[in-house]
Amino acid sequence: MRRIFTLFILLTFFAGCKKAIEEKKKDLVIDAMTSGQWQITNFTLNGSNITSDFSGYKFQYYSNKTVDAIKNGVVEKSGTWDGDANTMTTSANFPAAVNPLLYINGNWNITNTSWTYVVATQTVGTTVKNMRLDKL
């Protein structure tokens, strides 16, 4: 009986540790995204470079999972974002957006990242998008 109790305590402890680790990862994603503004420094759509379409845009991410698309110092559109360090994914949604912001909407797979940049790809049907965001 004592062994079962000890095993139960250990399992409970490790489950709590796993949850704490998951929360820490989530906090790090939020900290990385919300500390400073971001700029798209590379964007390709089906192999065509359309980075210049994002000229003048900066993105400010907030801990409440909202994001502002700021063009030439003025908030052009607000939306939502999310990120998951475990699955290496991120998402954005700018409701009723038009291009180029419409290109950002959806779920993205993060292929490379650091504290100051994110490289991600999105494939929907035959449409392939690649994006690099750099922290300013």
28: Cβ contacts below 8 Å, ≥ 6 apart: 85
Structure confidence by residue, pLDDT tens digits, 83-125: 988 899 999 999 999 999 999 999 999 999 988 999 999 999 9
Phi, psi of 111 (to 5 degrees): -105, -20
**Top-tier CATH class for 2-135:** mainly beta
Q: Strand, coil or helix: what is 118? A: strand
Identify each DSSP E strand in the chain by its residue range.
38-45, 48-49, 57-61, 66-71, 74-84, 89-93, 106-113, 117-124, 127-135
pTM of the model: 0.80
Structure confidence by residue, pLDDT tens digits, 74-88: 999 999 999 988 899
127: Cβ contacts below 8 Å, ≥ 6 apart: 45, 46
Q: Is the CB of residue 32 less than 8 Å from the CB of residue 115?
A: yes
